[in-house]
Amino acid sequence: MTVANDGVPADEFETDLLRNLAHQRGTTRQSASAQDIYQALALTVRDRLVDRYVKTAATYYETNPRFVYYLSAEYMLGKQLPQNLLYSGLQNQARDALEKLGLDPAELEDLDVEPGLGNGGLGRLAACILDALATEDIPAVGYGIRYDLGIFKQTFEDGAQVERPDDWTFYGNPWEFAAPDDQQPVGFYGKVEDGKWTPDEIVLGEPSHMLVPGYGTQTVNLIRLWRARASRASFDLSRFGEGRYGEAVDAIVRSENISKVLYPDDSTELGRELRLKQQHFLVTCALRDIVRRYRLRNTGWDTFTEKVTVQLNDTHPVMAIAELMRVLLDEEGLDWDRAWLIVRGTFAYTCHTLLPEALETWPVALVERLLPRHMEIIYLINFHFLQEVEQAYPGDPGKLRELSIIQEEPERRVRMAHLAVVGAKAVNGVAELHSKLLRETTLRPFAELWPERFHNVTNGVSPRRFMLIANPRLTGLISSRLGDHDWLRDLDRLSDLERAVDDSAFRDQWREVKRANRRDLARYARAVTGVALDPDAMADVMIKRFHEYKRQLLRVMHVITLIHRIRRGETAGLVPRSVIFGGKAAPGYYAAKRIMRLANAVADVVNGDPQLSAYVRMAFLPNYNVSGAELIIPAADLSEQISLAGKEASGTSNMKLALNGALTIGTLDGANVEIRDRVGAGNFFLFGLDAGQAVALKQAGYRPRSWYEADWELRETIDFIATIDDGALREIADDLLNRDEYLTLADYRAYIECQDEVAHAWEDRDAWTRMSILNAARSGFFSADRTVRDYGREIWHTPAVPEV
């Protein structure tokens, strides 16, 4: 009998699996479907985690610690099965048991569905932070919305993005526990009399939770997701009897629509009533749950801020500030000053953008109608706040206008970021440069008023998800060099790899790992796109949401430049590349979708012409998600981080890629700056304007056309865009020449020259491998474990609570 690290004998796992198949799925080994087996397997793993969770909960109950409550409208959790198998230490037993039963683990993993409850970086960051909180033994609960439909599934038709619904729980979700007996009422609309709100509509919030295990620790935390339910009486039996089936369920549909879809919108404001309803729904449910949990071990309000800290992930949950005020004033009977002190001691706010158009605002008229009492409270908060401003800047109406929570022109709107800064004890940006620019530009007047409130906490990523799970080959190689697996919880230990740089056998192994990962990626790319990538070509990847500021267009322009050079026979200095794209665009974001069509059209050109594909092949992998990232990142040699400086708050794929040994070609934007500082300027391909130069160029009156006129190769590239695809993409060229909001033309030449340097560096494969190893060895800082330790020290003041 073999006993693995969790102390579970292998045959016990098999027994438990078969028992779950019988007791939970009601079937037998002989008649079980693949889905039955998958679910029984998931439940068997889950059972072990539940045992740990019970102990964690008991420890928390005993010690009554301070909790971090993370409120986020988005979580991109990734597949749960591989993670939970690894974290529970059950991987070997599971494999043995499945083998004995004649089952293929890979096939079962295919049935595990990733919950795509987020759009991009912000949602994935939330998942990495929860992972790190559990790993660091910090008492925490994540709150979110259990959307019926996650981020849409992306396919391409004629090169254009097509969106399909993501019904992720179609076959049920074995990882979650529903708690329908713990529903919370959430009010909407109605009227306020004498400061008391009587809502017109009540929707029920129904929680379910999933387990969030830490790695290399016994701690298991929770993520609690809420879905909207109509009350029991909502079904209209008489209408149904009359055959009016649609009307019979009207009220149910209206209520339950609240958690129907994730808004597939990324960092631009979308003025939809339903979205505001979602936000209010989330924060009401979360706060009720937080107060309930607080009261398990505490009474009164005096110790609330000692025991509770709430992190607001961007502005989506910021209505929590008004909601907690409402609870304290209207339900708990506290006076204003005391309530405000509690609120101000509870919340902290993370801002994830610099783009003014991404700062959320809501029409006052809408908030007044949907949440009349909250609107009153926001006015009162603003009234008190503006008095403070008046004291700080006597007789300065400009200051009042600038800082007010209410924007007056052109329409009265509530500025959610202002409400957040006013109502929070701490505000942070997500990379050094971002936090600096927030203080100097976007939130400048607030930083002048309250400098001590502003912090930086540079983002991080989960080494478990993006090394252990995504890149077992590299993880194995690193562990064999470092002697154990512990670096996965202490990522700074990667620095010990520096010594391995001079070991040529190690460099060979490192290269072999990359090559094997590229082979896996090539197999996948072939299966989904038909494009045959060469596993020996440089894997040159750009994976992120499609957004103009991220400048996927600049990436495509380099490929077009290569097309022309190859056709002219200027192939000296070129190296074979696999140009890989992954990313979704918001369905209504026309300009981003146009760039996607261009990318696909250019891919057709290079892949279809042997003269070109000897040097460049291009694969746009559809439906980029966490699982896609796990496949692409380990194979990557070059990481494209080419946003216009001053626009990307942080970026996190940049960190995942460097950690996996990709070299970055990038601007001085977001966390690129810190990556370059750490890996060393000689191991990073820097190009382009910096943030200050970009602003200065715009202020000086940027004329893109003069760049076009001055550079014949740029001219050739843009003219190509104007004529490709029967000229349907001419708009892109027109826009570049007339507007070029993100200074693509201004950075074009620097980018092309930098790409030439990249090619030159790739020719010395051994020197490249050294740089690759150094990128990984020096990326320890970008662990999300460090991120939560920073939050813990600077903002939450939470000691860890390892299990007693």
The region that residue 190 occupies, defined by phi over 0 for left and psi between -120 and 50 for alpha, beta otherwise, is left
Residue ranges in contact with ligand GPQ by CB under 6 A: 119-122, 125, 266-267, 314, 352-353, 358, 430, 459, 648-652, 670
Three-state secondary-structure class, residue 155: strand
d(CA 160, CA 248): 39
191: annotated active-site residue? no
Q: What are phi and psi of 144, to 5 degrees?
A: -155, -170
Sheet strand arrangement including 685-686 = 616-621, 577-582, 538-543, 638-641, 663-666, 685-686
Q: What are phi and psi of 347, to 5 degrees?
A: -95, 145
Residue nearest ligand GPQ by beta-carbon distance: 121
307: annotated active-site residue? no
3-state secondary structure 443-454: CHHHHHHCHHHE
Which residue of the set 550, 597, 678, 789 is catalytic? Answer: 550
What's the one-letter identity of residue 360?
A: E
Count of residues in the chain: 804
The DSSP code for 576 is -
**Would you tell me how many other CB atoms lie within 10 Å of the CB of residue 192?**
18
d(CA 603, CA 607): 6
Q: Are strands 538-543 and 454-456 parallel, antiparallel or unpaired?
A: unpaired
Q: Of the two residues 288 and 550, which places its CB atom closer to ligand GPQ in the complex?
A: 550
Which residues partner with 426 through β-bridges?
A: 348
Q: Of the two residues 309 and 313, which places its CB atom closer to ligand GPQ in the complex?
A: 313
* Chain centre distance of CA 122: 3
d(CA 546, CA 100): 45
Distance in Å, CB of 657 to ligand GPQ, minimum: 13
d(CA 201, CA 186): 8
Q: At what angle do helices 34-63 and 10-23 cross, to 10 degrees?
A: 110
277: annotated active-site residue? no
Tokens, residue 661: 């040994």
Tokens, residue 90: 């059950």
The region that residue 699 occupies, defined by phi over 0 for left and psi between -120 and 50 for alpha, beta otherwise, is alpha
Contacts of 242 (CB under 8 A, 6+ apart): none
Alpha-helical regions (H) of 180-264: 237-241, 245-248, 250-256
Which residue of the set 315, 652, 744, 769 is catalytic? Answer: 652
Which residue of the set 153, 418, 544, 558 is catalytic? Answer: 544
d(CA 130, CA 626): 15
Q: Of the two residues 359 and 679, which places its CB atom closer to ligand GPQ in the complex?
A: 359
Q: Of the two residues 267 and 578, which places its CB atom closer to ligand GPQ in the complex?
A: 267
Contact of 463 with 779, CB cutoff 8 Å:
no
d(CA 783, CA 771): 20
550: annotated active-site residue? yes
d(CA 460, CA 358): 22
Q: Of the two residues 213 and 670, which places its CB atom closer to ligand GPQ in the complex?
A: 670
399: annotated active-site residue? no
Which residue of the set 277, 545, 617, 676 is catalytic? Answer: 545
Q: Of the two residues 314 and 740, which places its CB atom closer to ligand GPQ in the complex?
A: 314
Q: Of the two residues 478 and 649, which places its CB atom closer to ligand GPQ in the complex?
A: 649
Tokens, residue 193: 């009399």
With residues binned 3-state (H G I as helix, E B as strand, rest as coil), the percentages for the chain, rounded to 5, are 55, 15, 30
Nearest to 429 by CA among 268, 279, 629, 646: 646
Q: At what angle do helices 319-326 and 336-346 cross, to 10 degrees?
A: 140
Nearest to 686 by CA among 792, 741, 761, 790: 761
Q: What are phi and psi of 427, to 5 degrees?
A: -130, 135
Contact of 247 with 239, CB cutoff 8 Å:
yes
Contact of 120 with 629, CB cutoff 8 Å:
no
d(CA 74, CA 65): 26
545: annotated active-site residue? yes
Distance in Å, CB of 588 to ligand GPQ, minimum: 15
Cα torsion 311, 312, 317, 322 to 10°: value is 80
561 CB-contact burial (10 Å; exposed 0-12 / middle 13-18 / buried 19+): buried
d(CA 240, CA 381): 47
Distance in Å, CB of 124 to ligand GPQ, minimum: 8
d(CA 634, CA 332): 53
Distance in Å, CB of 654 to ligand GPQ, minimum: 8
Catalytic residue numbers, as ranges: 352, 544-545, 550, 652, 656
